[in-house]
């Protein structure tokens, strides 16, 4: 048996670092996908290859995945196979061929797209009894435990659950998942993604350190997670100034997600969410301290060129920004950022328009 599956990258409208704090987020799936061509074998091995890494095919016995010393891109798909097996699912052998169109290191969740494309392929190839929630957790476990990146489940949730034309409201405490209409074109708007070409590495320690600081903040406030705090004044009780700033970002970011969702559900002009996006960037820059000069420059330049709102997206320490623009001015905003990057001596950015797209699925 064989087939081809895809899973998309994502861009988060609002709600960064809230997932592992039991909070809220509002992602959309991108049209850019990772494609997984897969066929079943019976030889007890997993073989993976990538069009982006043509000289680095990897073959491993499935029984030895737990101890496999494989680094780099291949660890993500191998981690998914390992997680299926660890959970008791039988995989007699498989060949996986990957091709990724999601920019790597851009904060657009290329790793989750890999994980979810492989996860849905294995589910269908071997007729495994796993739910959407299982797929999300398998991807999360592969990234946390096999790769070593201490992420939450936002990226995998978006890659599996998003639908075309909608943003996905996620409540990571209750498990609520709601599709929120997100039709920017009808309002004459576009969501411009600007990849600053400053790749981030979530496994390098910065992300995990922020997660530990959030746990310290919750402990200092006597709550199981920062989701329990809705009044930002409560964070003033935290003695450590760094931990206090981390908590303030999470509490205010959760409020920003709820604000954006309410505006969209009320049918307000989407331009109204612009200032909320910009406030989110200031919080990530100042309180969570995960922005970079390139990200800050892209945001300030986009706003000066007429964007209604702009902010960095993803785990931070590099990656991309989004800018909410009038469709007729999108190219003008992109050119302004390109010009400013050239003046600053930065690597030229890459730009594209994000269109809310469908989640992971089989295509042939």
**Is residue 293 pLDDT above 80, yes or no?**
yes
pLDDT band at 104 (very low <50, low <70, confident <90, very high): confident
Question: Are residues 168 and 243 both part of a single domain?
Answer: no
Question: Are residues 169 and 220 both part of a single domain?
Answer: no
**Is residue 203 pLDDT above 70, yes or no?**
no
Question: Are residues 69 and 159 both part of a single domain?
Answer: yes
Domain for residue 346, yes or no? yes
Contacts (Cβ under 8 Å, ≥6 apart) of 85? 62, 65, 91
Domain for residue 242, yes or no? yes
Residues annotated as catalytic (active site), given as ranges: 155
Give the percent of the chain with pLDDT over 70: 99
The more confident residue out of 5 and 106 is 5
Domain for residue 345, yes or no? yes
Q: What is the pLDDT of residue 107?
A: 83
Q: What is the pLDDT of residue 354?
A: 96
Q: What is the pLDDT of residue 166?
A: 97
Q: What is the pLDDT of residue 33?
A: 97
3-class DSSP state of 28: strand
Beta strand 361-362 with 350-354 is: unpaired
Q: What is the mean pLDDT of residues 56-68?
A: 96
Which helix (H) or strand (E) is 156 found in, with range?
A: helix 154-161
Q: What is the mean pLDDT of residues 286-310?
A: 97
Indicate the average pLDDT of the chain.
Answer: 96
Domain boundary residue, one of 179, 209, 228: 179
**Is residue 28 pLDDT above 70, yes or no?**
yes
Rounded Cα distance between 342 and 336, Å, is 10
**Is residue 96 pLDDT above 60, yes or no?**
yes
Q: What is the mean pLDDT of residues 3-21?
A: 97
Give me the number of domains the chain comprises.
2
3-class DSSP state of 152: coil
Contacts (Cβ under 8 Å, ≥6 apart) of 227? 21, 22, 23, 172, 173, 254
Q: What is the pLDDT of residue 152?
A: 87
If we measure between CA atoms, which residue out of 87, 208, 102 comes closest to residue 138?
A: 87
Question: Are residues 132 and 260 both part of a single domain?
Answer: no
Question: Are residues 227 and 339 both part of a single domain?
Answer: yes
Question: Are residues 342 and 239 both part of a single domain?
Answer: yes
Contacts (Cβ under 8 Å, ≥6 apart) of 179? 163, 166, 167, 168, 169
**Is residue 210 pLDDT above 60, yes or no?**
yes
**Is residue 26 pLDDT above 60, yes or no?**
yes
Question: Are residues 255 and 294 both part of a single domain?
Answer: yes
How much is the CA Rg of the chain, to the nearest whole Å? Answer: 20
Question: Are residues 32 and 158 both part of a single domain?
Answer: yes
Question: Are residues 254 and 337 both part of a single domain?
Answer: yes
Question: Are residues 175 and 192 both part of a single domain?
Answer: no
Q: What is the pLDDT of residue 105?
A: 81
Domain for residue 364, yes or no? no
Q: What is the pLDDT of residue 201?
A: 61
- The pTM score is 0.93
* Residue range of the domain that includes 18: 2-179
Q: Which tens digits make up the pLDDT trace of 227-270? A: 999 999 999 999 999 999 999 999 999 999 999 999 999 999 99
Q: Which tens digits make up the pLDDT trace of 322-347? A: 999 999 999 999 999 999 999 999 99
**Is residue 223 pLDDT above 80, yes or no?**
yes
Q: What is the pLDDT of residue 95?
A: 98
Domain for residue 362, yes or no? no
Q: Which tens digits make up the pLDDT trace of 145-169? A: 999 988 889 999 999 999 999 999 9
Q: Within its chain, how far is the Cα of 45 from the centroid? A: 30
Beta strand 2-14 with 24-40 is: antiparallel
pLDDT band at 113 (very low <50, low <70, confident <90, very high): very high
Q: What is the mean pLDDT of residues 281-310?
A: 98
Question: Are residues 321 and 339 both part of a single domain?
Answer: yes
């Amino acid at each position: 048996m064989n087939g081809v599956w895809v899973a998309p990258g994502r861009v988060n409208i609002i709600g960064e670092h809230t997932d592992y704090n039991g909070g809220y987020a509002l992602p959309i799936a991108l049209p850019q996908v990772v494609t997984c061509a897969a066929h079943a074998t019976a030889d007890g091995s997993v073989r993976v290859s990538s069009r982006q890494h043509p000289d680095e095919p990897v073959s491993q016995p499935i029984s030895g995945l737990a101890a496999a010393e494989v680094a780099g891109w291949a660890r993500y798909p191998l981690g998914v196979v390992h997680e299926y097996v660890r959970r008791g699912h039988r995989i007699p052998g498989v060949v996986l061929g990957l091709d990724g169109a999601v920019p790597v290191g851009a904060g657009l969740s290329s790793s989750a797209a890999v994980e979810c494309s492989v996860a849905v392929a294995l589910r269908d190839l071997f007729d495994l009894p796993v739910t959407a929630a299982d797929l999300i957790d398998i991807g999360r476990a592969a990234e946390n435990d096999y790769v070593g990146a201490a992420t939450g489940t936002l990226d995998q949730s978006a890659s599996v659950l998003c639908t075309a034309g909608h943003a996905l409201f996620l409540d990571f405490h209750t498990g609520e998942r709601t599709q929120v209409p997100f039709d920017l074109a009808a309002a004459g708007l576009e969501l411009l993604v600007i990849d600053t070409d400053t790749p981030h590495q979530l496994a390098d320690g910065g992300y995990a350190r922020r997660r530990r600081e959030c746990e310290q903040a919750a402990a200092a406030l006597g709550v199981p997670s920062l989701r329990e705090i809705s009044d930002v004044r409560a964070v003033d009780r935290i003695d450590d100034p760094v931990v206090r700033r981390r908590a303030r970002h999470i509490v205010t970011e959760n409020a920003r997600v709820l604000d954006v969702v309410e505006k969209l559900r009320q049918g307000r002009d989407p331009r109204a969410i612009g200032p909320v996006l910009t406030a989110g960037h200031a919080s990530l820059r100042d309180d969570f301290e995960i922005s970079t000069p390139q990200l800050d420059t892209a945001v300030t330049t986009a706003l000066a060129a007429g964007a209604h709102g702009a902010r960095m997206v993803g785990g931070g320490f590099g990656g991309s920004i989004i800018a909410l623009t009038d469709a007729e001015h999108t190219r003008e905003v992109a050119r302004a950022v390109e010009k400013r990057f050239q003046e600053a001596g930065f690597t030229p950015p890459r730009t594209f328009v994000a269109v809310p797209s469908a989640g992971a699925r089989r295509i042939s």
